[in-house]
């Protein structure tokens, strides 16, 4: 499975790592719902750490698409919301 | 409700699927996409240059403040030596304020440094992927019919589209950050110019002028004493001469 850390790059991860990510993702999503920025940032930081530690970085020239994309951990609540909105944080290509 | 990863994936994929929809003919899609990639690469290079310019401006303000700290310290010393504790106090108050400004500037410089590193990494990844895409594109165009090419190119285009969306976000965030910094640096310049905030970096402050006055008064006193001495000596000689 290939995961992209937004603004960092792509990594290949195994099932155990994916299970851990899913678990953290669920808690991060709840934190966003409660507008608990500290908890959201902490869980996202943990997701990034898990991928960096357990994943294997893909070569820069690899053109494989990612199965999953992890948002940046240094966004504000507002930016995170904008990232997921229709207008989006990502400019049109 | 989908998780954060699911939502981020959907958002990113929606961005580049729009890009691929723009052309019907696969060869056209390939060329169009390649052009877009090159444009984006130029944008990311420009983004890096903008961040560096912003950083230099803040570093310049920062070094001006550093110089003013040394100057204010000297002024405080001079003022105390001249028995003007009020002026010494004023100089030290300004020094404290300048130190606070300096800490803020240093933090901003660090923030820009982080943005710069991210953009440089993004530029490196995009550049490597564009090169890989370019060679695949030529192979596909040479060896496959239009229908086959459509299938073959899907994955490569998706892979690079995803990188493009990611790089686009990195550029956008760096741009927001530099604009914010420039506005702040500009506001500081404006405040200084309008006199609302003491200009720590101008050549001559009120403190300078008062200290100059003290030293020029001292010089006048010295000169006066010298002249008096000369006159006195002359008068004595006159008395002796006849």
| Residue B232 parent element (H or E) | helix B206-240
Residue-wise pLDDT tens digits, A21-43: 999 999 999 999 999 999 999 99
Task: Name which of B2, B3, B4 to mutate to probe chain A: the one with the most chain A Cβ atoms within 10 A of its Cβ.
Answer: B4
* pTM of this structure: 0.75
Q: Which residues partner with A70 through β-bridges?
A: A5
Cα B234 from Cα B125, distance rounded (Å): 88
Tokens 């869980």, residue located: A43
Two structure tokens written together for B104: 């803020």
Contact A61 B128 (CB under 8 A): yes
Cα B167 from Cα B161, distance rounded (Å): 10
Q: Which residues partner with A10 through β-bridges?
A: A4
pLDDT of residue A80: 85
CB atoms within 10 A of CB A63: 20
Contact A60 B128 (CB under 8 A): yes
Contact B125 A6 (CB under 8 A): no
Exposed, middle or buried, B209 (CB in 10 Å: 0-12/13-18/19+)? exposed
Task: Name which of B122, B166, B173 to mutate to probe chain A: the one with the most chain A Cβ atoms within 10 A of its Cβ.
Answer: B166
Two structure tokens written together for B222: 């010295």
pLDDT of residue B212: 74
pLDDT of residue B49: 93
Rounded mean pLDDT for each run of 10 residues along chain B, 242 residues in total: 83 76 67 86 93 90 85 87 86 86 88 91 94 88 78 78 89 88 75 50 64 77 84 62 51
The ipTM assigned to this model is 0.88
Cα B61 from Cα B59, distance rounded (Å): 5
**In this model, does residue A87 exceed pLDDT 70?**
no
Interface of B with A in 164-223 (CB under 8 A): 164-166, 168-173
Find, among B123, B7, B163, B161, the residue nearest to A70 by Cα.
B7
Q: Is B133 an interface residue toward A (CB < 8 Å)? A: yes
Chain A's closest residue to B119, CA to CA, is A7
Helix pair angle (B26-81, B206-240), 10° resolution: 40
pLDDT of residue A1: 93
- Which residues are CB-neighbours of B227 under 8 A, at least 6 positions away? none
Chain B's closest residue to A21, CA to CA, is B5
Q: Is A86 an interface residue toward B (CB < 8 Å)? A: no
pLDDT of residue B122: 93
pLDDT of residue B233: 72
Two structure tokens written together for B15: 């961005």
- Which residues are CB-neighbours of B173 under 8 A, at least 6 positions away? A7, A89, B115
Q: Phi first, then psi: give them for residue A36, nearest 5 degrees.
A: -95, 90
Contact A85, A77 (CB under 8 A): no
Given A21, A90, A92, which is nearest B11 (Cβ)? Answer: A90
Contact A48, A73 (CB under 8 A): yes
> CA-CA distances (angstroms) from residue B144 to B22, B130, B141, B171, B216?
21, 21, 6, 35, 89
Chain centre to alpha carbon of residue A76: 14
Q: Is B5 an interface residue toward A (CB < 8 Å)? A: yes
pLDDT of residue B71: 86
pLDDT of residue B130: 93
CB atoms within 10 A of CB A35: 10
pLDDT of residue B231: 81
3-state secondary structure of A10: strand
Q: Is A64 an interface residue toward B (CB < 8 Å)? A: yes
Two structure tokens written together for A76: 């504000």
pLDDT of residue B234: 63
- Which residues are CB-neighbours of B187 under 8 A, at least 6 positions away? none
């Amino acid at each position: 499975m290939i995961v992209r850390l937004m603004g960092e790059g792509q990594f290949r991860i195994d099932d155990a790592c994916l299970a851990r990510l899913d678990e953290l993702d669920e808690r991060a999503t709840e934190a966003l719902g409660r507008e608990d920025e500290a908890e959201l940032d902490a869980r996202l930081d943990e997701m990034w750490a898990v991928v960096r530690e357990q994943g294997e970085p893909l070569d820069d020239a690899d053109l494989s698409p990612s199965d999953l994309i992890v948002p940046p951990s240094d966004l504000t609540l507002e930016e995170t919301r904008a990232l997921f909105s229709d207008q989006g944080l990502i400019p049109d290509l | 409700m989908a998780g954060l990863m699911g939502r981020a994936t959907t958002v990113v994929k929606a961005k580049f699927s729009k890009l691929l929809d723009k052309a019907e003919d696969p060869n056209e899609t390939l060329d169009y996409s390649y052009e877009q990639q090159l444009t984006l690469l130029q944008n990311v290079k420009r983004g890096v240059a903008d961040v560096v310019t912003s950083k230099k401006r803040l570093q310049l303000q920062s070094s001006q403040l550093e110089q003013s700290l040394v100057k204010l310290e000297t002024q405080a010393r001079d003022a105390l030596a001249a028995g003007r504790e009020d002026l010494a106090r004023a100089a030290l108050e300004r020094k404290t304020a300048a130190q606070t400004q300096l800490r803020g500037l240093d933090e901003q410089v660090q923030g820009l440094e982080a943005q710069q590193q991210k953009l440089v990494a993004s530029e490196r990844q995009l550049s490597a992927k564009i090169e890989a895409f370019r060679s695949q594109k030529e192979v596909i165009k040479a060896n496959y019919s239009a229908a086959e090419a459509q299938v073959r190119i899907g994955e490569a285009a998706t892979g690079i589209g995803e990188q493009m969306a990611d790089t686009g976000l990195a550029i956008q965030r760096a741009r927001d950050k530099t604009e914010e910094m420039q506005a702040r640096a500009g506001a500081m310049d404006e405040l200084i110019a309008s006199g609302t905030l003491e200009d720590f970096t101008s050549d001559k402050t009120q403190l300078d002028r008062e200290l100059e006055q003290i030293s020029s008064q001292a010089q006048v006193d010295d000169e006066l004493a010298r002249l008096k001495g000369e006159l006195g000596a002359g008068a004595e000689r006159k008395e002796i001469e006849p």
